[in-house]
Amino acid sequence: MIKTTTTSISLAIYLWNVYLDYRQYKKLRESKVPTVLKGIVKQGVFDKSREYSKDKSRVKFVQDLYFFTLATLLIVENGYAFFWNISKTLLESMNLTGSEVQVSCVFVLVYMLFDIVCKLPFSLYSTFVIEEKHGFNKQTLGLFFSDLVKSILLGVVIGGPIISAVVLIVRKTGRDFYFYLWVFMFLFQIVLLMIYPTLIQPLFNKFTPLEDGELKKGINELAKRIDFPLTKIFVVDGSKRSGHSNAYFFGFFKNKRIVLFDTLLETSSHEETCAVLAHELGHWKLNHILKNLIFSNIHSFIMYYLVGFALWYDPLFQAFGFKDQPVVIGFLLFSYLYAPVEELLSFLFAILSRTFEYQADAFAKALGYEAQLKSGLIKLNIENLGNMNPDPWFSAWHHSHPTLVERLNALGFSKKTD
Ligand code: ZN
């Protein structure tokens, strides 16, 4: 019964997503430039972006079917119990006690490696065939695999202690675990926010301070105008991996840094770069990051509370071939049952995120960047070959950002964007 429910839930979610993908795919086959983009986007660019999206979409159909089948097999064939037993045997062969903490850490590692191997053909194909074909891939195989090894090592260094802590918190605090776990995860989030840009990101990319000049002057003036406590501006070598471009900021309180992708600087004028940044800084000024943090923490608090119902529910574990009730397995099985709520919530978060994007655009517009933001957005969309003709359902469900057309319209649409 529990297994049937679990598989039915994942089947329903899978079919819903395939339906949305299909709707989007149909839209991509339309060769006419949408009326609103006429005069802004040339037919050739539009066709290129369609080809790119179509290629990605076709892989996604195969990939989703593959992962759905895999997940179903794991449920039906008691795959998690199988991995759990392997982990136990591994520890026994090393003469270790096999405490719950130890088995959990090994289990997560074994499962993570299994997952990576399963995903590998798809990540290789999308990077070295699709991104390559459309001129975005700048990675070598060597870089790809060194990234992968670094990520696995990071996963072990960070994941190991976290898993141990989660298991110990649940075991030591019993039914009240959700509160303590929430506090712990909150603190962990803050630590991660602090170390990610300064310790982790530099493992993958090189950050160079922006040279003195027009752009730096412009950015400093912008920061001053809105009281953004800017201390440093960096350029990151995003072009090492991909031709996609971006900008972001990080840091706490009075110590903020701005990061610009070298790819962004290559394609945008100084004013457009400032306009894109004005949007990013709008997120800061309007407290969007803080608001997101609050919402996601309310969500995790409720979720941890609900996990409690799964953790001590014996029939759930038995249904999946477990004699005992390991904490990590409880979390994993809970995630299957919770998936519909998660889907719905991510839809609501997408709506919230789009609201924030409009507000940040309006913020940049109020600073006088309307024209530059429009041309900047158009350029970014063209450079990144973003989907220019989104299906409304697909877009509403998945997109964290409004589409180009929606954003241009909200900024006050006029064709004179140059
Ligand atoms: Zn934004």
Do residues 86 and 219 both lie within one domain?
A: no
170 vs 327: CA distance, rounded Å = 7
283 vs 256: CA distance, rounded Å = 13
Do residues 18 and 110 both lie within one domain?
A: yes
Domain assignment of residue 299, yes or no? yes
Q: Residue 245 maps to which CATH number?
A: 3.30.2010.10
364 vs 85: CA distance, rounded Å = 56
Domain assignment of residue 277, yes or no? no
Domain count, the chain: 2
Do residues 125 and 213 both lie within one domain?
A: no
- Whether 193 shows a pLDDT value over 90: the answer reads no
For 344, half-sphere exposure in the C-beta direction (CA atoms, 13 angstrom radius) is 6
CA of residue 76 to ligand 1 center, whole Å: 42
CA of residue 214 to ligand 1 center, whole Å: 24
Do residues 245 and 363 both lie within one domain?
A: no
Measured N-to-C along each axis, helices 100-125 and 141-173 cross at an angle, to the nearest 10 degrees, of 150
- Measured CA to CA in angstroms, residue 289 lies from 48, 280, 283, 295, 353 at distances of 34, 11, 7, 10, 10
The predicted-structure confidence for 23-75, as pLDDT tens digits, reads as follows: 999 999 988 888 878 888 889 888 998 999 999 999 999 999 999 999 999 99
Catalytic residues, by residue number, are: 280, 361
CA of residue 403 to ligand 1 center, whole Å: 12
- Whether 236 shows a pLDDT value over 80: the answer reads yes
Do residues 176 and 254 both lie within one domain?
A: no
- pLDDT confidence bin for 152, thresholds 50/70/90: very high
Give, as one character, the DSSP assignment of residue 137. B
339 vs 75: CA distance, rounded Å = 14
- Find, among 359, 389, 333, 301, the residue nearest to 31 by Cα: 389
The DSSP bridge pattern shows strands 247-250 and 230-236 to be: unpaired
Q: Which domain range does residue 220 map to?
A: 207-267
Average pLDDT over every residue of 328-349: 93
For 9, half-sphere exposure in the C-beta direction (CA atoms, 13 angstrom radius) is 19
Do residues 188 and 227 both lie within one domain?
A: no
CA of residue 358 to ligand 1 center, whole Å: 8
Q: What is the pLDDT of residue 393?
A: 93
Domain assignment of residue 243, yes or no? yes
CA of residue 279 to ligand 1 center, whole Å: 6
349 vs 187: CA distance, rounded Å = 22
- Whether 278 shows a pLDDT value over 90: the answer reads yes
Do residues 18 and 108 both lie within one domain?
A: yes
CA of residue 85 to ligand 1 center, whole Å: 45
The predicted-structure confidence for 315-326, as pLDDT tens digits, reads as follows: 999 999 999 999
129-138, 264-273, 346-355: range with highest mean pLDDT: 346-355
Do residues 130 and 255 both lie within one domain?
A: no
The predicted-structure confidence for 87-141, as pLDDT tens digits, reads as follows: 999 999 988 888 999 999 999 999 999 999 999 999 999 999 999 998 888 889 9
Q: Average per-residue pLDDT in the chain?
A: 90
Do residues 19 and 90 both lie within one domain?
A: yes
- Whether 416 shows a pLDDT value over 60: the answer reads no
DSSP code per residue over 295-336: HHHHHHHHHHHHHHHHHT-HHHHHHTT-SS--HHHHHHHHHH
For residues 252-261, one letter each, b for 16 or more C-beta atoms within 10 angstroms of the residue's C-beta and e for the rest, the string is: eeeebbbbbb
Domain assignment of residue 272, yes or no? no
- Whether 244 shows a pLDDT value over 80: the answer reads no
Domain assignment of residue 353, yes or no? yes
CA of residue 132 to ligand 1 center, whole Å: 27
Please say which residue of 267, 283, 316 terminates a domain: 267
Whole-model pTM: value is: 0.84
